[in-house]
Amino acid sequence: MTLEEAMGEIKPLELSPELTLIKEKELTGAKVIDGKAIAKAIVKNVKNEIATFKAENPSFQPRLAIVQLGEKEDSNVYVAMKKKTCQQAGIEYTEHHMPDTTSLKDLLTTIEKLNADPSLHGILVQLPLPPHIDAKVVTEAIDPIKDVDGFHTTNIGRLAKLSTMPDFVPCTPKGVLELIRSTGIEIEGKTAVVVGRSDVVGAPTFHLLNKNNATVTLCHDKTKNLAETVKTADILVVAAGKAELIKGEWLKKGAVVIDVGINAQRDLTKKSGVRLVGDVEFSKAQHVAGHITAVPGGVGPMTVAMLMENTLLSARRFWQAQHESGAALTKITPLPLELKTPVPSDIDIALGQQPKNIKQMAEEIGLGADEFELYGKYKAKVDPDVLKRLEHRQNGRYVVVTGITPTPLGEGKSTTVVGLVQALGAHLDKVAFGCVRQPSQGPTFGIKGGAAGGGYSQIIPMDEFNLHLTGDIHAVTAANNLLAAAIDARMFHETSATDTMLFNRLCPKKKGQRKFAPVMLDRLHRLGIHKATPEDLTPEEISKFVRLDIDPATITWQRVMDTNDRFLRKIEVGRNPTEQGHERMTGFDIAVASEVMAVLALSADLKDMRQRLGRMVVASNRAGHPVTADDIGIGGALTVLMKDAIKPNLMQTLEGTPVFVHAGPFANIAHGNSSVIADRIALKLAGVEPGTDASQMGYVVTEAGFGADIGMEKFFDIKCRVSNLVPNAVVLVATVKALKMHGGGPDVVPGKPLPEVYLNENLPMLEAGCANLTKHIQNAKKFGVPVVVAINKFTSDTDAEMALIRKLAIEAGASDAVPCDNWAKGGLGAVDLGQAVVKACEKPQDFKYLYDVQDSIESKIETIAREMYGADGIDLSKEAREKISTYTRQGFAGLPICMAKTHLSLSHDPTKKGVPTGFRLPIRDIRASVGAGFLYPLIGNMQTMPGLPTRPSFYDIDIDFDTGRVVGLF
């Protein structure tokens, strides 16, 4: 850093005619340097600099944090002056006023938070501090890059070395230098004397003059022959703290004298009884000096002006660091892959790669220290408040990965997501984020295995990814089951108590007074009772308030657990003698099927999640009105259980590119996509500043569950509708083997060899199966988004098969169709796909939803059935029609539709592959996830609690006791 950079990079002063730097009146030769005028001009210059920069960069705003302990009068005056000057300069400030009894620990905690806040550019702790606070410890706690006072040892040390410059020059010495320059004197080669050796003024001024090539002597009040030394000074700076220490006759004729001292002396002629004098005997010095500062009005105002300059300098540095490349990210350092043939097992590959420390990853993607929380070495939670800091930025490119209709042969969507992100981020020099769901432990220990990707395209550590992660699913389980317990408990208590008894229990007297909880007031308002005091309720209103009168037959809320346990699909509760008469049939779902999980995935922020959790409908009362979680009074408690789960989890791929893992809603009865919050954060981090070249934009790649007819449609019509995010491209994943199965290939039986047709070239069968691919391409195009087909390539696939798929895909409207080998080669095997996605994202899109959300429930269901599945129409059961009537009456008809049907066919029959025709879609029931914000029609029998197979995956999972590592995961 150059001296000019450290001094502030501020433009030359632009003085108004009414401002003069040197008072014109000569006092027997000496000119009084008007520090007030110079400071005023500097503050005006800072204001102009800010205004000019903001004109081109509207989000630019320097911010200063002012920390003050106690109520000392002089500190109050100084702080008030600094706040006023901030306002004059256009600098925002935050006050942190703490009692003088504040402990050192609490003060340091405050400073730590300010250090970590990326929106703050400077931290000022007002001195002096109370006696019990060690000022040196406090000064050293401030991050040097925010130490706008310039007191940190790092800054002072760099100032002392000729070869380095500090981030900030201390304000008073910096002001002294400006005062000297204002006289027009050439500093280089002059003899300078500094009297006073404090760390705050004297010593830094010595070093600053030395860096400006003056010949400097540092003295103090104990220096022998001080007068003789002072006599040599062309430039004299005095900061000894002793009234009139320097006599006028000591000065060299024509010297520039900067008097930093300010001392109170008794003077009965003054109204205050005191007068302020400097360290220099002004009355005599003015006859000898060429230029001299007055006391007061000399150096004091300059210190505050330099504080403004330093804050602006800091803000500009922060801005440049975050925006010089157009993105807020620093360069992400990829991790090299050691590719092996044959490809080892997933767990062996994952354990063979040393991940980055997640702190490094968080810093690389541009997060401030207070914007993430570490969960061990390789996982972190990200604070959604980062969106507030980045709200001005344009979003990056948004890509959704989906697939053809799934088959037992697998298509590899997760592997493609990871491989594409690795290709973009590690090989194509793009900023790229993956956003994926957190996998349930049910499939991990069941038959499907984990969901971290596969081969050399994985999220790591894959064992942590596939197991507890940071406990989000456990939080969902706890919240769901608390609500389930509350439902049964409420019905139990209502049947055994009078209205008065219930009222007394719900609103007990405390110190002779009753009080409504806030959630109770909300319930009263929904009931049309606008009273805030329990005593004001009439008996009729009390009954209305305390009686939920839940109809047990209408309860839709089940308990959940994150384990495949088929024997809990149907259970009877209330069998204990203490609950006799309250028996009812219910059951368990897998935890990710809970509406709480869907709420987590679709919430915009913590407040929105609170509202969604509160309005979840769990049953109807006997009058047919919906009963919500907030009617039970539990919405706030559910939010408390979920308050950490709302923070996305940051992880990484095998090649060290960032991935957000967040939420895991079931892809049948819910929408099967990762969270809105994670996507929004990633899009901002991958985004650019307004006006930046679009080529600098990064990419966010997310995955939609199941095939394009289910996951992609729900992504567009539910997730995008809720988030208002507009996708730039669709990646549709297919394999030769899966397409052959859709073309009439034989079933695959677990434990038996794969039929030869899947291992040998068969173009007619492949072409027939490509009808399924064509249908999904056409489905995606209905939303106005470009489509790229990713063909996951296996060693048995031939060039002719690849060419045929590409030809048919492009004829169907795809932008491109690209073979991928990312399973065996990582990002390197998906470079062609990455390039195709970049090109597709540059194409214009005309995004639109499939239906108007205000259409009738029946109309929306039929639109999806006809347009996405190719059905001739829908058939509503009597129960489904009754539900349509009920939901319309209850005000839920305007919700989007989340179809719950088999993922194994475009139709409702899982045995029908390819593109079935000539069928009507039977709707047996319709249910409401009001908190999540959708209705889900049931087509066929949807299992929400999977079962374990004869040979579950847990047979292979164990611990290697020599290394402590997990083995057997896949």
Active site amino acids: 82
Where does residue 873 rank: exposed (0-12), middle (13-18), buried (19+ CB within 10 A)?
A: exposed
Count of Cβ atoms closer than 10 Å to residue 943 Cβ: 13
Q: What strands lie across the sheet with 22-27, from one edge to the other?
A: 22-27, 30-33, 291-293, 256-259, 235-238, 191-195, 215-219
Q: Rounded to whole angstroms, how far apart are CA atoms 12 and 9?
A: 9
Listed residue (637, 614, 636) closest to 526, CA to CA = 614
Q: Which two tokens stand for residue 730?
A: 């669709």
Beta strand extents in 338-468 (DSSP E only): 372-374, 380-382, 397-403, 432-436, 453-454, 457-460
Q: Rounded to whole angstroms, how far apart are CA atoms 725 and 395?
A: 9
Largest Cα–Cα separation, the chain? 111
Q: Rounded to whole angstroms, how far apart are CA atoms 458 and 442?
A: 20
Residue 897 in contact with residue 888, Cβ under 8 Å?
no
Q: Rounded to whole angstroms, how far apart are CA atoms 357 and 361?
A: 7
Residue 558 in contact with residue 586, Cβ under 8 Å?
yes
Residue 904 in contact with residue 747, Cβ under 8 Å?
no
DSSP state of 130: P
Question: Any bridge partners for residue 696, and if so which?
Answer: none
Q: Which two tokens stand for residue 792?
A: 């996951």
483 phi and psi angles, rounded to 5 deg: -65, -40
Where does residue 59 rank: exposed (0-12), middle (13-18), buried (19+ CB within 10 A)?
A: middle
Give the N- to C-terminal CA distance of the chain in Å, as an integer. Answer: 51
- The residue with tokens 């080998």 is 821
DSSP state of 704: B
**Residue 333 one-letter amino acid:** T
Q: Rounded to whole angstroms, how far apart are CA atoms 583 and 571?
A: 10
Q: Which residues contact 105 (CB under 8 A, 6 or more apart)?
A: none
- The residue with tokens 């050192």 is 104
Q: Which two tokens stand for residue 312?
A: 């602006």
Question: Any bridge partners for residue 98, and if so which?
Answer: 69
Q: Rounded to whole angstroms, how far apart are CA atoms 700 and 684?
A: 10
What does each C-alpha distance from 55 to 61, 90, 323, 328, 691 come to in angstroms? Answer: 11, 13, 16, 20, 12
Q: Which residues contact 957 (CB under 8 A, 6 or more apart)?
A: 445, 966, 967, 968, 969
Count of Cβ atoms closer than 10 Å to residue 573 Cβ: 15
Q: Rounded to whole angstroms, how far apart are CA atoms 366 and 685?
A: 7
Count of Cβ atoms closer than 10 Å to residue 904 Cβ: 17
Q: Which two tokens stand for residue 313?
A: 């300098």
Question: Any bridge partners for residue 264, and if so which?
Answer: 276
**For the residues of 821-859, what is the DSSP string, one character each?**
-HHHHGGGGGHHHHHHHHHHHHS------SS-TTS-HHH
Q: Rounded to whole angstroms, how far apart are CA atoms 193 and 228?
A: 11
Q: Which two tokens stand for residue 146?
A: 């925010």
Q: Rounded to whole angstroms, how far apart are CA atoms 440 and 437?
A: 9
Q: Supply angle C-alpha 830, 834, 836, rounded to 5.
A: 115
If you compute the radius of gyration of the chain from its CA atoms, what whole number of angstroms results? 36
